Amino acid sequence: MAQTKKGHPGAKGRLAVFPGTFDPPTNGHLDTIRRAARLFDRVIIGVGNNPGKKPMLPPAVRARLVSQIVADLPSVSVRTYEGLTVDFARKVGADVIIRGVRNSLDMQYEMQMAATNRMVAGVETVFIMADPRHVLTSSSLIRQIASGGGDVSAMVPPEVLKEIGTKRHKKTGG
């Protein structure tokens, strides 16, 4: 029997939030989402806006792309959000925040964030280690390669590749 989380009428089971900028969404993101969907009853992908980054794609486009690549996962939904991730997690009633970790540098940074989120907001973090095929993949690397006209087809889902190609085509006027 599914449990209803206190304070969140109608919420059933364990809810996780997987936040990120997803600029662009990668095969590594998709792998983490699929694995999180097996661990939790529901997963909300939070497409955030990081004021410290200059995005290649607007938030609405990123959210649409993530929605497309997770369309076969009925327990996964996508929302955009502004502000602190812990505030978003609390707002949607999430039990945990999912973070993908590729290497020891990611882990060091993510551990600090997880401890802070737990201390400040009482929100737990679950780390999902990257599949070895995706440990060298990052959105910033993909943006750099794509902006230079390089082939990123092995690093992003087809829907994302199409969007990046369209954006590059518009940008170059070719």
Backbone CA torsion sign across 53, 44, 15, 74: negative
74-83 pLDDT, tens digit each: 999 999 999 9
Domain membership flag for residue 83: yes
State the total domains in the chain: 1
Domain membership flag for residue 8: no
Is the per-residue pLDDT at 166 higher than 90? no
Domain membership flag for residue 101: yes
| 3-class state of residue 71 by DSSP | coil
6-55 pLDDT, tens digit each: 334 344 589 999 999 999 999 999 999 999 999 999 999 999 987 777 88
Domain membership flag for residue 7: no
Of residues 42, 43, 18, 50, the one with CA closest to residue 127? 18
Band of the pLDDT at 95, cuts 50, 70, 90?
A: confident
Domain membership flag for residue 1: no
Domain membership flag for residue 39: yes
Whichever domain contains 47, its CATH number is 3.40.50.620
Which active-site residues does the annotation give? 29, 53, 102, 139
Measured distance CA(141)–CA(12) in Å, rounded: 38
Domain membership flag for residue 118: yes
Which domain does 76 fall in, by range?
Answer: 15-172
